[in-house]
Amino acid sequence: MAEPQPKIAASVVVSGRDPYAMYDAREVSVSSARLRGPLMLEVGESFTLRMTRGAIAIEVATRVTEVVRGDGHGEPELVVAFAASDADKLSSLVA
């Protein structure tokens, strides 16, 4: 039986600072991701995201496309979109 893939961690990258680990990536494709964590951004905001799984780490530009507020029982989620030009980088992470 194959071992399960490790979770993908997602960190906000701010210039001149260490990446801030804020999110667990719930779903990731080469075009978008659903992130769960306490820091909520607004639809349309853009930021750099570092995503890591095991020894693989990539940084990609993202734009928030949807905000899913929690129902009081779980943390809220963001849906972010990636640029088509980052698909090759992301494919190594989601493979």
Task: Give, in degrees to the nearest 5, the angle at Cα 47 between 45 and 51.
Answer: 130
CA distance 30 to 93: 9
13-52 residue pLDDT tens? 888 788 878 888 889 999 999 998 877 789 999 999 999 9
Looking at per-residue pLDDT, the higher value among 3 and 50 belongs to 50
Looking at residue 4, its pLDDT comes to: 59
Per-residue tokens: 24: 């667990």
Look at strands 77-82 and 46-53 and give their pairing: unpaired
CATH number of the domain at 8-82, out of 2.40.10.220, 3.30.470.20, 2.40.50.100, 2.60.120.10? 2.40.10.220
